[in-house]
Amino acid sequence: MEIVRGVHQVDGIIGNSYIINGKKMVVIDTGLPGNSRKIINYIRVALKRSPNDVTTIILTHYHEDHSGNVYELKNLTGAIVAIHTGDADYVSGKKEMPEGHSPIQHVTPDTLLQDGDKIAGLTCVHCPGHTAGSIALYDPNRRILFSGDTLGYDEGKVRGPREEFSDDMGQVKRSIQILSGLDYDLMLPGHGSSLKPDAAVRVGEFSQSLQ
């Protein structure tokens, strides 16, 4: 479905997979393994584009519900794969997935992101805590924050990540505080539904409640 003009969420995938449908196409997160056909079909049928138009696949972190189709999608599109340095080794296979996580098909990331890097019109905001290399992606022009798993929105409530799947909840709190200081109207999380309007204000209130 189209969320706002040019920004889509591929229907029926856990975790959320977003597509920015510009001249260059960007896929943000790829969902659990077994969903690459859904993403490719969406590009072909809903967007009437070619998979080759995807230039960049960005992963908000390494967990398999976000990286699960990165291998197949890279092969089907020819896109580069970008992830924060702190999480890259799990996607390349240099590090094993921690206990409780399912394996993925590995790819060697093409671009290793750091805080503040610009990629495909988005700014990488490092927000460690859920994982060491978790990022949010900030689009200042469209006033959108892709929050990955650092922030979610369910049943009318902003929430943080589940503690049992997170490395360091203290870091998560600090990262949420940083994200509350950016200016955006729409938040697109890794799970749950989109939050708008006044997403940054709502995140600010949530951040306050954690202090």
Give the shortest CB-53-to-Zn ion separation in angstroms: 26
Segment lying near Zn ion (by CB under 5 A), choices 36-44, 45-53, 104-112, 144-152? 144-152
What is the pattern of x (binds Zn ion, CB under 5 A) and - over residues 98-137?
----------------------------------------
User: Quick one: which of 64, 65, 87, 139 contacts Zn ion (CB under 5 A)?
Assistant: 65
CA distance 105 to 69: 8
Cα distances (Å, whole numbers) of residue 178 to 17, 75, 164, 209? 23, 35, 22, 14
189 forms part of the interface with Zn ion (CB under 5 A): no
Contact (Cβ atoms closer than 8 angstroms) between residue 175 and residue 129? yes
Residue 11 or 163: which CB sits closer to Zn ion? 163
User: Binding residue for Zn ion (CB under 5 A) from 190, 199, 206, 207?
Assistant: 190
Alpha carbons within 13 angstroms on the beta-carbon side of residue 165 total 14
Under the criterion CB under 5 A, does residue 63 sit at the interface with Zn ion?
Answer: yes
Indicate which single residue of 29, 64, 72, 149 sits in contact with Zn ion (rule: CB under 5 A). Answer: 149
Q: What angle in degrees, to the nearest 10, is found between the helix axes of 169-180 and 199-210?
A: 140
How many CB atoms within 10 Å of residue 155? 7
